[in-house]
Amino acid sequence: MADKVAVVTGSNKGIGFGIVRELCKRGLRYVYLTARDAQRGQEAIAKLNKEGYDPFFHQLDVTDEQSVKAFTKYLKRKHGGLDILINNAGVINANFTETTYEDTIRVLNANYYSILTIQTYMFPILKDNARVIHISSDCGHISNLKNTYWIERLTKEDIKQEDIDAFVDWFVDSVRNGTLNEADFQEMPLLSYRISKISLCALTRVQQKEAGRGISVNSLHPGFVKTDMTKTAGFITIEDASQAPVYLALDVDQSVKGRYFWFDKTEKDWADANKKLYCVYAVVEKCVRESNAA
Ligand SMILES: NC(=O)c1ccc[n+]([C@@H]2O[C@H](COP(=O)([O-])OP(=O)(O)OC[C@H]3O[C@@H](n4cnc5c(N)ncnc54)[C@H](OP(=O)(O)O)[C@@H]3O)[C@@H](O)[C@H]2O)c1
């Protein structure tokens, strides 16, 4: 295990930073803390060095194809590939209660399209029995949707990439044309963030089917975590939220594939729209309000 090569995207702060720290704690020799901004990345490395951990740094902007390509080339040359890939980098809506076209594209680029770029370049260098973990959200559970056509199309057993593409295109067109229909969604706040994470969970299943070579691809809701993304509101700490991703990366049986996990390490049925595991915005809003007032 010690010689495994692990990469965490967007890990200069927040949950990604916590995951890097946990992986180092577990004794992995090659843990890559990556960041789109090299200075923020190096500052994060310095913080971990002070705590006695020694991860490596590499620049990686997941929305920049050249950056993904360069890092892949580097990993291939230096290590021949990688064993653990934790896709954590992400952004949320600039305004939690407003869905604009520009912001929708920004969110989808960072949270969903980036994963397709990573799939193109980095999946071919995954080693046999590698593990890919997508940090999704409760916003990514299928019960965030009410539109039965899309629920059925995204949860069918033989889902294909083109089904997800059609779903994302439908959403982007609706935002662009001003034809969003509230009846299609459980809740309207954080809507493009929800769509990006639902698409990521659906993609997990498509990728798992295509992965081969013993590779596993799972997704995870890390909990409502006190980070910059939530304006420091939340129910759990970064340290606690880092446990489940590391469990999926190192401890769970290799036979666990294409599944959706929760921050307490339990598995949830992503495809059950009746489960009501969607993100309740009133809870988020109350917590943010209370945290800001404190
Ligand atoms: N916090 C929660 O309650 C919660 C709940 C459910 C899911 N999640 C998910 O957990 C993951 C981590 O979130 P967090 O709460 O730790 O947020 P955060 O504190 O805002 O950290 C996000 C990280 O992603 C990086 N990032 C953003 N865009 C990037 C890009 N294009 N390329 C590379 N890195 C990029 C950020 O880098 P910069 O510093 O350069 O911006 C930062 O390091 C996200 O996928 C999020 O959707 C969080």
Report the pLDDT value the prediction gives residue 2, as an integer from 0 to 100. 72
- How many domains does the chain contain in total? 1
Closest CA to 1 of 170, 251, 242: 251
pLDDT single digits (tens) 54-67 = 999 999 999 999 99
Q: Which residues are catalytic?
A: 193
The residue whose CA is least distant from atom 32 of ligand 1 is: 61
pLDDT single digits (tens) 66-97 = 999 999 999 999 999 999 999 999 999 999 99
* CB proximity list for 59: less than 8 A, separation 6 or greater: 34, 35, 36, 38, 41, 67, 70, 71
Q: Which helix (H) or strand (E) holds 213?
A: none
pLDDT single digits (tens) 148-201 = 999 999 999 999 999 999 999 999 999 999 999 999 999 999 999 999 999 999
pLDDT single digits (tens) 15-52 = 999 999 999 999 999 999 999 999 999 999 999 999 99
Residues 16 and 9: beta-carbon distance below 8 Å: yes
Q: Residues near ligand 1 with C-beta < 6 Å?
A: 9-10, 12-16, 35-37, 40, 60-63, 88-91, 110, 135, 137, 221-222, 224-225, 227-230, 234
Give the structural domain span for 78. Answer: 5-293
For the entire predicted model, the pTM comes to 0.98
Q: What CATH number did the domain enclosing 81 receive?
A: 3.40.50.720
